Homo-oligomer: A and B are copies of this chain.
């Protein structure tokens, strides 16, 4: 163990809890005092561990992608059947986005809408996250091109899918019903995939 007074909190857990606060209240809507209260730590500890509000938020985005998005994307990237893979993926996304266990909506989509015209570093990080989502789904659709509606390319299908999910996530934030979200997701499946 290192010298000095021991840390009271775990950095990863703190990042997770800070994520939940930003997720629910937005970037501007979150005061640093809200975060220190949720983590039960003091502001100097927060600054020592993560830097200021902006730096903390950038790390929260990384945490979100690594711990929320990546785990449900993995099965899709490994599936043998696009239709079933996407169906499961949509179920998982819906569970997150509906906000029963987590705050509603997609953190990337919501914070992008809110803050990207204000802080360049945040805009860059979130735009990068979208670009990587595009590339991910593009690879998935390339791999299962035989199941894709031949009217669209994998690139266009990826943009359409990511945009649909972001739009549905905003809808969920407005308090939309589970059925409404699922009807949008299943509509995508029915039109974007080749019908047997």
Contacts and interface: CB of A to CB of B under 8 A. Distances in A.
Interface of A: 24-26, 28-29, 103-105, 109-118, 123, 126-127, 130, 149, 151-152, 155-157, 159-160, 162-168, 170-171, 173-176, 180, 183-184, 186-188, 190-192, 195
Contact of A26 (B25, B103, B114, B184): B114
Contact of A117 (B26, B152, B180, B190): B26
With most chain B CB atoms within 10 A of its CB, the pick from A170, A190, A192 is A170
Contacts of A195: 151
A25 B28 CA distance: 11
Can you tell how many copies of this chain the complex includes?
2
Contact of A170 (B26, B104, B109, B159): B109
Q: Determine the main DSSP class of A at the interface with B.
A: helix
A189 to B, nearest CB: 9
Given A127-B174, A160-B191, A167-B168, 9 more contacts: A24-B117, A105-B113, A110-B113, A113-B113, A113-B170, A123-B174, A156-B184, A160-B184, A164-B164
9 contacts: A24-B117, A28-B29, A29-B114, A109-B113, A117-B173, A126-B174, A159-B183, A160-B164, A163-B166
A103 B113 CA distance: 12
